[in-house]
Amino acid sequence: MTSPHLGRASRRGLADESADRIRDAILAGEVPPGGPLREVELATALGVSRGSVREGLWILEREGLVRSAWHRGTSVIDITPEDVREVYAVRAALDRLAAITARETATETHLAELDALVGAMATEIAGTPAGPRLVALDIAFHDGVYAAAGNRRLTEAWHAVRSQVHLFQLRRVALGFAHYRARVVDEHRELATLLRSGDRDTLARIAEEHVNSAHRGLLAHLP
């Protein structure tokens, strides 16, 4: 297996930097779900010690993005229907709370940033849309909702599943891009509109349904 193109790590906290570069490679599709992550190869590619790589992999394991097994080493998580059900169930609850909280706390700056991200999605769709680019905008939109909510512990809970959600959304796009492309702009525009002027119950329902739609879309195409 060819080593992923990681780019050499800087000296900003080598474990964190290693985690960032490995995460980027995983989310760029350079290491597929279930693919192995070998410490020696990663340390050479990053120009750091195996210890820094090992600590970086522990960070990614806490995020749920990789798994370690005795005598089997570390690998990117494989995406099973059970993984999908668990992660999206947690995400639905978090996104619902983030949306109804942000409805009360979002500033005009927050709302303008969300509108700009929806506009960027629409521009991407109007051209030659790239799935990974749309997913990055999708994740950035939800980061913005959590930032608008202003609840530190809620944001920490989101970050605990964020990398898995990103990977799952990339997998959803790879398996069924047409389903995702047809919905991504309208669904996020609706959320942005409701955050600005919608009633609480409708916003809560739509935020949860947005996640459930993603859940169904991935499960429908997952082998």
Give tens-digit pLDDT for 119-143: 999 999 999 989 999 999 999 999 9
Q: Taking the complete model, does pTM exceed 0.85, yes or no?
A: yes
Per-residue pLDDT of 65-78, as tens digits, reads 999 887 778 999 98
Mean pLDDT of 77-89: 93
Task: Extract the tokens encoding 2.
Answer: 């060819």
- Measured between alpha carbons, how far is 77 from 63 in angstroms, rounded to an integer? 11
Q: How far apart are CA 107 and CA 87, in angstroms?
A: 29
For residue 47, what pLDDT is reported? 92
What local confidence, expressed as pLDDT, does residue 6 receive? 65
In this structure, the strands spanning 66-69 and 36-37 are unpaired
Query: Please, are residues 60 and 163 in contact by the beta-carbon 8 Å criterion?
Result: yes
To which residue do tokens 């590619």 refer? 45
